[in-house]
């Protein structure tokens, strides 16, 4: 588990997630990977019938990063709309907000 | 689009929640095709163009379908734009018959998606979904549109009963559509008590997945000999793809970008439409499309829902829409075109809007990460 990395344009510094092939901001095509940093949960929802192994409800949120991108992530139960969070990314591909 | 592309026939293969064993997508598409050709009074041997959109036709492609349908073509197209595929195929088919590349184009869309196939489709919809959403897991687009609906409700001051009004009105339309899978009346109490899928969306806000298919036949106006029923002209048509790099809130679609040009080309406006079919994958998206296309004028959305939709004074999604008739995968967009053509030809039975002459049909779809990135609309008009 490590901090989610996002794509940053080397020319205009705009950040993107998921990855693009050409910077929507300036048109450049050179990038670096940067940590996603902090963001704010803007919406949250309980998904009641997810295809989770145990079928248990899953809590998701829409997080606007200070760097710009909006990321859909799994939320811990006590994390809700308005909370400041950081995003972790696991080998399982799950982005988690904490 | 110049005015001489016409829809001369339409058909819908019966929508079913639980298709019998042995059902397959190609056969469903063929059922829709034969119905559309029959309604056009055209023999399959006259078809020289074919367009198809389906999530479940694979491993076959359009050519395999042509072979199995036994049609000999000089124009062939396969479309992958989901809810916007119908308008996209209609644009291309219209151009083809105008240019003379084909005379008679069969436009098909449909799907048969058993539970496992549906889950695979949802989780491998595209790279962003497969890599970043499916692992969460996210439960399909319901969770994304749940959060979009939260933004929408907040932006417009709406509550669950406002969205319910649209759902209930469409169910009232569906009562008169024998092809709709849900036709029983729905009350506000039932809606509010229904199981939540992803808050605030309940089961009635999410389209029932069905097996089914839709078809239209497109011809140029100077190739109309033999058609017994009034042809439907394509007066105007516009599409947009990726208008905002997914950087917005999803509360505007590309329709807001194309509406001005669309209405100008049609020489008409929202008030001139006798029937309107918007892509109702979720109630909020139907409202967004009506807003984008200028149906509200100076009115507030909440009052518009009560005065125009709940009352059914404005005929919107008269088949019951996908919310009541069902969503047959990639046929979701063509379903609206078929219903519009039925209304304009006076073939809509108990839900017929008297004297309907002009229709607006909108398509929307392909969630690339947070919301749909494809949108289009067409203005249709009965020729006589
Ligand atoms: Zn840039």
Task: Using alpha carbons, list the distances in angstroms from residue A84 to A38, A60, A63, A75, B133.
Answer: 7, 15, 9, 12, 21
Task: Sort out which chain A residues have CB atoms less than 8 A from B197's CB and list them.
Answer: 47-49
Reported pTM:
0.97
- Closest CA relative to residue B166, chosen from B287, B75, B274: B287
Closest C-alpha among A89, A96, A69 to residue A9: A69
The per-residue pLDDT for range B138-160, each reduced to its tens digit, is: 999 999 999 999 999 999 999 99
Q: Does B369 touch chain A (CB under 8 A)?
A: yes
**CA distance linking residue B171 with residue B318, whole number of Å:** 9
Pick the CATH number of A2-97 from 2.70.50, 2.40.50, 1.10.287, 2.60.120: 2.40.50
Structure tokens at B266: 């049609």
What tokens does B6 get? Answer: 């016409």
Mean pLDDT score, A39-59: 89
Helix (H, G, I), strand (E, B), or coil: what is residue B259? helix
Q: How confident is the model at residue A67 (pLDDT cuts 50, 70, 90)?
A: very high
Question: Angle at Cα B95 formed by Cα B89 and Cα B234, nearest 5°?
Answer: 75
Angstrom distance (rounded) from CA A15 to CA A9: 6
CB A33 within 8 Å of CB A5: yes
> Which residues partner with B105 through β-bridges?
B49, B218
**Is B244 an interface residue toward A (CB < 8 Å)?**
no
pLDDT at site B2: 52
CATH of B5-114+210-223, one of 3.40.718.10, 2.60.40.740, 3.40.47.10, 3.40.50.720: 3.40.47.10
ipTM tops 0.85: yes
Closest CA to B191 of B168, B173, B215: B168
Average confidence (pLDDT) over A71-91: 95
Nearest residue in chain B measured CA to CA from A45: B199
CA A23/CA A11 separation, integer angstroms: 9
Q: Looking at the predicted structure, is the pLDDT value of residue A51 above 80?
A: no
Structural tokens at position B272: 């001139």
Contacts of B127 in chain A (CB under 8 A): 18
CA distance A65 to A23: 18
Contact B123 A58 (CB under 8 A): no
B196 interfaces chain A, CB cutoff of 8 Å: yes
Domain B117-209+232-382 has CATH 3.20.20.70: no
Choose among B212, B218, B179: nearest CA to B9.
B218
Q: What pLDDT does B1 receive?
A: 46
What's the confidence (pLDDT) of residue B229? 85
Q: B40 CA to chain A: closest CA distance, Å?
A: 43
- Among candidates B198, B245, B369 on the partner chain, residue whose Cβ is nearest the Cβ of A47: B198
Interface test with B, best of A23, A52, A61, A72 (most B CBs within 10 A): A72
In this structure, are residues A58 and A52 in contact, taking their beta carbons and an 8 Å threshold? yes
- Of the candidates B137, B150, B247, the beta carbon closest to that of A58 is on B137
Q: Profile chain B (384 residues) by mean pLDDT over runs of 10 residues.
A: 81 97 97 97 97 98 98 98 98 97 98 94 96 95 98 98 98 98 98 97 98 97 73 97 97 98 98 98 98 97 98 98 98 98 98 98 97 98 91
- pLDDT averaged over chain A? 95
Predicted confidence at residue A55, as pLDDT, reads: 80
Helix axes B25-40, B62-69, angle to 10 degrees: 60
Q: Give the C-alpha separation, B95 to B234, whole Å.
A: 11
Domain boundaries, chain A: 2-97
Q: Which run of H or of E encompasses B332?
A: helix B332-344
Rounded Cα distance, B35 and B38, in Å: 5
Residue the block writes with tokens 């969070």: A85
Answer whether B143 sits within 8 Å of A47, measured CB to CB.
Answer: yes
Q: C-alpha angle B61/B63/B69, rounded to 5°? A: 105
- Kindly indicate the confidence band of residue A53, based on its pLDDT and cuts at 50, 70 and 90: confident
The neighbouring-strand residues paired with A16 are: A7
* Residue of A1, A5, A12, A18 to mutate when probing chain B, most B C-beta within 10 A: A18
Using only C-alpha atoms, what is the Rg of chain A? 15
* Cβ pair A15, A5 in contact under 8 A: no
Find, among B143, B135, B133, the residue nearest to A90 by Cα.
Answer: B135
Distances (CA, A) of A41 to A72, B114, B135, B147: 10, 35, 19, 11
């Amino acid at each position: 588990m490590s901090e989610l990395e996002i794509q940053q344009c080397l020319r205009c510094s705009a950040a993107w997630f998921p990855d693009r092939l050409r910077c929507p901001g300036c048109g450049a095509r050179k990038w670096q990977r940067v940590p996603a940093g902090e963001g704010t949960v803007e919406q949250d929802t309980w998904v009641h019938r997810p295809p989770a192994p145990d079928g248990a409800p899953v809590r998701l949120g829409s997080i606007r990063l200070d760097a710009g991108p909006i990321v859909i992530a799994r939320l811990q139960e006590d994390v809700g709309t308005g909370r400041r969070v950081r995003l972790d990314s696991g080998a399982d591909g799950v982005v988690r907000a904490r | 689009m110049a005015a001489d592309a016409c829809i001369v026939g339409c058909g819908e293969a019966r929508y079913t929640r639980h298709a019998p064993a042995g059902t397959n997508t190609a056969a469903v598409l063929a059922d829709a095709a034969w119905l559309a050709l029959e309604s056009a009074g055209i023999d399959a041997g006259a078809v020289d163009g074919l367009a198809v959109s389906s999530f479940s036709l694979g491993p076959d492609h359009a050519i395999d379908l042509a072979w199995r349908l036994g049609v000999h073509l000089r124009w062939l197209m396969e479309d992958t734009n989901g809810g916007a595929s119908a308008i996209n195929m209609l644009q291309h088919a219209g151009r083809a018959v105008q240019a003379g590349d084909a005379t008679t184009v069969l436009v098909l869309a449909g799907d048969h998606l058993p539970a496992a196939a549906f889950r695979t489709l949802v989780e491998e919809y595209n790279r962003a979904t497969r890599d970043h959403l499916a692992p969460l897991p996210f439960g399909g687009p319901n969770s994304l549109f749940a959060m979009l609906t939260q933004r929408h409700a907040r932006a417009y001051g709406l509550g669950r009963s406002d969205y319910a009004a649209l759902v209930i009105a469409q169910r009232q339309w569906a009562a008169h559509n024998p092809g709709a899978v849900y036709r029983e009346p729905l009350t506000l109490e039932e809606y509010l008590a229904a199981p939540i899928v992803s808050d605030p969306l309940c089961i009635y806000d999410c389209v029932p997945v069905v097996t089914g298919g839709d078809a239209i036949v497109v011809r140029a106006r100077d190739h109309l000999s033999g058609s017994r029923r009034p042809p439907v002209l394509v007066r105007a048509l516009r599409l947009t793809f990726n208008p905002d790099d997914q950087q917005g809130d999803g509360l505007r679609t590309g329709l807001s970008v194309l509406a001005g040009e669309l209405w100008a080309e049609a020489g008409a406006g929202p008030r001139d439409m006798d029937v309107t079919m918007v892509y109702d994958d979720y109630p909020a998206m139907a409202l967004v499309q009506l807003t984008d296309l200028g149906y509200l004028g100076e009115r507030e959305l909440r009052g518009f829902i009560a005065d125009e939709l709940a009352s059914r004074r404005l005929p919107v999604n008269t088949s019951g829409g996908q919310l009541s008739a069902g969503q047959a995968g990639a046929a979701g967009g063509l379903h609206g075109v078929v219903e519009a053509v039925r209304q304009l030809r006076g073939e809509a039975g108990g839900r017929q809007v008297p004297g309907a002459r002009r229709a607006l049909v909108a398509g929307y779809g392909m969630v690339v990460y947070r919301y749909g990135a494809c949108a289009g609309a067409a203005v249709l008009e009965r020729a006589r």
